[in-house]
Amino acid sequence: MTSSSHGYDMSAGYTYGFCPEMAPDWLDLAARLAGHAPARRASGAPFRYLELGCGQGMGLCLLAAANPHGEFLGVDFLPEHVDHGRAIAEAAGLTNIRFSDGDFVALAADWPTEFGQFDYVTLHGVYSWITPMVREALVRCLGQATKPTGLVYIGYNAQPGWLGTVPFRHISRLIKDVSGQPSDVVLQDSIALFDRLATGGATSFQILPGLKARLAAVKRQSSNYLIHEYLHEGWHPLWHSEVLKEVGTAGLSFVGSASLAETLLPGALPPALRATIEDQAAETLRMDVQDLVINQSFRRDTSSAPYSTPCPRPTLRRWMRCGCI
């Protein structure tokens, strides 16, 4: 493969990390709190779990080790990520996990029979970093990969929290396009340029307070992370309503957020703001207004497959009527 494919910068491997919100038990709890049935109807029941865009595979291997009764599959676009995941699994003696390199566009056109369907399908740090064409293919993959009773987790950059970062990302990507320099050099040049703009008193730093904070943050982060965060062609933070509309074409419907602290919203907000959110007639509008109130920057949405059944807890479901769990 080339260093960039489908607009995705492949010049560096991604960082390592673990997101507890992607754990099967966590997702089942999130579904129950939202008044929906979990993917598994019985504790300890066997299950199948797919991570699309699994990165280095560290998090997926941890889940496989903690859930020996589960069958895990990780798919990633970068062969070096897949090789790394396989090496971890082999070193740990894990027999319930496998990895495969794959292109979402190709997978959407011909979903592998050997992959089959899964109780849990997850993707973290992928959805808002790919081009619309690839995102459309990814949604088709979700529709083919998810069992009728399955749950889908999507972690993505959300608006309006990234509005202040748009100038830095735009200029960084433009420097990459016009200079032809390696990605790590592009980032250093971009940081230097924005330092000069800040020192010179550029108006953007006054009307976008988040821009100064973002510039300070990128100086502390690794180049590998920054390349994957900012230099893909498809970088596009999304509103919740936009994601819901897109995944709806695969028959998926919103269950709630896997960020469990958001169970307190909008109830924990000042009365005037809470009332403003609750007064909105549509759930999608309530969610976008709520994200505007809290300046949401990253969402962890959980969706259910077309034939998922509600959990018989109507009182809790009414209490969580904002759709946030």
CA–CA dist 259, 300 (Å, integer): 6
Q: With bands split at pLDDT 50, 70 and 90, how would you rate the model's confidence at 206?
A: very high
3-state secondary structure of 132: helix
Which residues lie below 8 Å from residue 247, measured CB to CB, with a gap of 6+?
Answer: 139, 142, 152, 154, 303
pLDDT of residue 322 exceeding 60, the answer is: no
The first and second tokens of residue 174, run together, are 């433009």
Tens of pLDDT, residues 48-63? 999 999 999 999 999 9
d(CA 52, CA 77): 9
Report the alpha-carbon distance of residue 252 to residue 246 in Å, rounded: 9
The model's pLDDT over 97-142, given as tens digits with 9 standing for 90+, comes to: 999 999 999 999 999 999 999 999 999 999 999 999 999 999 999 9
Q: Please give the Cα distance from 96 to 251 (Å, whole number).
A: 29
The torsion defined by the Cα of 304, 319, 244 and 312, in degrees rounded to 10, comes to 20
Cβ contact 97:64 at 8 Å: yes
Kindly state the DSSP code that residue 261 receives in the 8-state scheme.
Answer: G
pLDDT above 90 coverage of the chain, percent: 84
Using pLDDT thresholds of 50, 70 and 90, give the confidence band for residue 41: confident
| Amino acid at residue number 205 | F
The Cα 75–Cα 52 span in angstroms is 5
- pLDDT score for 161: 96
Measured in whole angstroms, how far is the alpha carbon of residue 263 from the centre of its chain? 19
pLDDT class of 42 with cuts at 50, 70, 90: confident
Max Cα-Cα span within the chain: 62
pLDDT of amino acid 12: 83
Residue percentage of the chain with pLDDT more than 70: 93
Q: Write phi, then psi, for 315 (nearest 5 degrees).
A: -65, -45
Confidence class for position 43, pLDDT limits 50, 70, 90? confident
Q: Which of 251, 252, 320, 313 is nearest to 286 (CA)?
A: 320
pLDDT score of 298 more than 50: yes
Residue whose pair of structure tokens reads 């994200």 in the numeric block = 291
Residue 11: the pLDDT is 84
Supply the DSSP string of 264-284, one letter for each residue.
GTTTTS-HHHHHHHHT-SSHH
Checking if the pLDDT of 94 tops 70, the result is yes
**123 Cβ contact list (under 8 Å, min separation 6):** 51, 52, 53, 138, 153, 154, 155
Domains (range + CATH), the chain: 4-160+237-317 (3.40.50.150), 167-230 (no CATH)
**Any idea which of 34-38, 124-128, 237-241 has the lowest mean pLDDT?**
34-38
pLDDT on residue 299 = 98
Q: Is 211's pLDDT higher than 90?
A: yes
